[in-house]
Amino acid sequence: MDIMDSKSLGEAIRMARKRLKVTQKDLALASGTGLRFIIELERGKPTCHLGKALGILQALGLRLKVVES
Amino acid sequence: MDIMDSKSLGEAIRMARKRLKVTQKDLALASGTGLRFIIELERGKPTCHLGKALGILQALGLRLKVVES
DNA sequence: CGGCAATATTCCCGTTCGGGAATATGGATA
DNA sequence: TATCCATATTCCCGAACGGGAATATTGCCG
């Protein structure tokens, strides 16, 4: 899936989470963040902290690749 | 290039910028951010805002893909 | 439809992001 | 060595992030 903005990243994260049948609460616990951050990240809030977002991807067993547009 | 954390994303961004022979100042102007943000992003500051970082990637003609780890 | 689980919103609050300017530092070149 | 350009650091300050709790809303299933 292509990530062009925070909305699409949030969607990808939500999809992955649901695929793994994990609740937002569990994901927060597993990744050492708060529930509030997960909710906002999944809804595409552009001011979420980059490092935290990348940490969530790791917790979901995902990573990002940079490609030319 | 794989992105696992903010450091590797910063590196990727710096590499792309240099490949395009663009200064940090020019990139800031081109993407509507401040110089300070570019410097911090390239140095891997994990608390940079996600949306701004994704905007810089766009300005560099890049995008991200989500892949399984 | 009622009940329950999941998600979203709101609140309080301490910490800090980032714009932009000024200045310090580093690297390359003549 | 001096100069110049690029990057990094520091400063001020208003806006806001995010933890965690409480509460409201939504969706699903029996």
pLDDT along chain B (69 residues), means of 10: 94 96 96 97 98 97 93
Residues of chain A with pLDDT > 90, as a percent, come to 97
pLDDT at A23: 97
Question: What domains does chain B contain, in order, with CATH numbers?
Answer: 6-59 (1.10.260.40)
pLDDT at A15: 96
**Residues of chain A neighbouring B33 (CB-CB closer than 8 A):** none
Q: Which residue has the tokens 């030319």?
A: A68
Q: Are A37 and A31 in contact (CB under 8 A)?
A: no
Please give the nucleotide, over all strands, whose C1' is closest to the CA of residue B25: D6
Give the global pTM: 0.94
Containing A59, the helix (H) or strand (E) segment is helix A50-59
What ipTM goes with this model?
A: 0.92
